[in-house]
Amino acid sequence: MENIAVQVNNLIKTFGDIIAVNDVSFKIKKNTIFGFLGPNGAGKTTTINILCTLLRPTSGIAKINDYNCVENPEEVRQSIGIVFQDPSLDERLSAWDNLEFHGLVYNIAKQERRKRIDFVLNMVELTKRKKDVVRTFSGGMKRRLEIARGLMHQPTVLFLDEPTLGLDPQTRNYIWNYIRKLKDEHSITIFLTTHYMDEAENCDEIAIIDKGKIIALDTP
């Protein structure tokens, strides 16, 4: 299991009579981009919420870096970064302050925290805007800052939920160049959901889920 970042075996999640995730299994190798596709209500978010320790499965096993998502939630949370579909930055604060708050939540020591803030801001090319209030940022800049925040605690698996939703084509292309750079230069495993088929072609492997079941799992 040394080369496996994410492992899901026979995962089932029910809500009353509704089967949201129906016997789902897949593995994701380290340092790859994995695309998770499917219509609304297919089970994507439920699966991700289980992997991110936000939901307990009805049955089955989900692991991140060999840590069980139910039995070892703290270790899993330290291993992952999350960029949500909906904006979650505090737009009244500066870019720096948003990252500072995230570092405090993860109990990163002051000196190390400031080093990491400088590092991730440089990665997403926002160093010159670090003191600016986030509400003055464009949509693409906010997305880059959210990715920077997701990397603050040095996760090995980064979850991106519709990372380019609502962005113009030029900005979408920029975000994708950055995602590929993350994988290639920093050995981070990327797990992303998308509705854009042209974006799915950037993935190393794709799973298509519908009505809670994996109906296809292969390279693009």
* Residues 55, 43: Cα–Cα separation, whole Å: 13
CA dihedral in degrees (63, 64, 70, 76; nearest 10)?
A: 170
Instruction: Print pLDDT tens along the chain (220 aa).
Output: 579 999 999 999 999 999 999 999 999 999 999 999 988 888 988 999 999 999 999 999 999 999 999 999 999 998 998 888 777 899 999 999 999 999 998 889 999 999 999 998 988 889 999 999 999 998 888 988 988 898 888 889 999 888 877 777 887 888 888 888 888 888 889 999 887 787 788 899 999 999 999 999 999 8
CB 22 within 8 A of CB 211: yes
**Which tokens is 184 given?**
């290639």
Residue type, 6: V
pTM (2 decimals)? 0.85
Long-range contacts of 42-45 (CB under 8 A, 24+ apart): 42/209, 42/210, 42/211, 42/212, 43/13, 43/209, 43/211, 43/212, 43/213, 44/193, 44/209, 45/161, 45/193
| Predicted pLDDT of residue 1 | 54
Sequence letter at residue 43: G
